[in-house]
Amino acid sequence: MCGPLALSATAAPSAPAGNPFAGLTADQIAKKAATDLKAAASFHFHGSGKDSGQTVAISMSVTHKGCTGSITDGSNGGFAILAIGKTVWIQPNDKFWEYVGVPASELSTVHGKWLETTGTGSNSVSAAFAPFCNANKLVSVLAPHLTGLVEGKTIRISGHRALQLRNSSGQESIYVSISSKPEILRTSDDGTINFSAYGARVTITPPPPADVITLPGASPRAYSWQRLLRGM
């Protein structure tokens, strides 16, 4: 979302008895759902959107320990990702290896290999993927989009009643479950990201050492795929 919105979000609309959002403004509902996201033991999100003209797809399971999932786009390939703390492993597919300059004649030597890197600097791989792998970082990214909202329509997402919280243009929305403990179920802008599996069991295990190539802390390529998560 593009900056603060001058909406009359200071007064909550009247709500029928039994409404878990009674007395709350749209901004307060969104903040409550964001707080619940940070507190969740785990959750999954997946979807796709546009980045530099390319359609990028992401699927990620996140826990307090780390994350596991994949990121791909149509032209540059993609990779599986696994992170535990500050250590990140990525497993490129052949198309991605070619994109970063590995000749086709050498693909067999790196096929199936994981790249391991550990670092904490702003240019580290762990920093680059933090918005995907850490609930607190993810909420920090979403935070600018959780203000200036108004209530929209009610729909169903994966069987759950969900309330749309939208900006003034209606082009960007967050959908939250209608409950006393609201959960973010979807974000929608240039693309759509769906959230599910709150509290589900997620196992994150490092790849076998024989399949790992250790890299320096810096990322081999700079990506802006974080924009998938609402305009980063």
pLDDT given for residue 17 in this prediction: 47
Sketch out the chain's domains with CATH numbers.
26-229 (2.50.20.20)
Distance CA 138, CA 204 (A): 19
Q: How confident is the model at residue 214 (pLDDT cuts 50, 70, 90)?
A: confident
For 49, the token pair is: 């959107």
Q: What is the dihedral of CA 16, 21, 27, 31, to 10 degrees?
A: 180
Query: In this structure, are residues 49 and 191 in contact, taking their beta carbons and an 8 Å threshold?
Result: yes
73, 77, 41: which is closest to 58 by C-alpha?
A: 73
Q: Which of 38-47, 78-87, 98-107 has the lowest mean pLDDT?
A: 98-107
Is the pLDDT assigned to residue 122 strictly greater than 80?
no
pLDDT given for residue 64 in this prediction: 93
Strands 87-92 and 77-84: antiparallel
Question: What's the whole-model pTM score?
Answer: 0.81
Among 18-27, 79-88, 105-114, 157-166, the range with the most confident prediction by mean pLDDT is: 157-166
Q: How confident is the model at residue 215 (pLDDT cuts 50, 70, 90)?
A: low
pLDDT given for residue 86 in this prediction: 86
Choice between 166 and 15, residue whose per-residue pLDDT is larger: 166
pLDDT given for residue 227 in this prediction: 37
Q: Which amino acid is at 29?
A: I
- In this predicted model, what pLDDT tens digit does every residue of 20-76 receive, in sequence order? 999 999 999 999 999 999 999 999 999 998 777 778 899 999 999 999 999 998 788
Is the pLDDT assigned to residue 126 strictly greater than 90?
no
pLDDT given for residue 230 in this prediction: 34
Helices 135-142 & 26-39, crossing angle to 10 degrees?
A: 160
Size of the chain, expressed as the number of residues it contains = 232
Is the pLDDT assigned to residue 88 strictly greater than 80?
yes
Q: How confident is the model at residue 216 (pLDDT cuts 50, 70, 90)?
A: low
pLDDT given for residue 111 in this prediction: 93
Q: How confident is the model at residue 225 (pLDDT cuts 50, 70, 90)?
A: very low
Q: How confident is the model at residue 228 (pLDDT cuts 50, 70, 90)?
A: very low
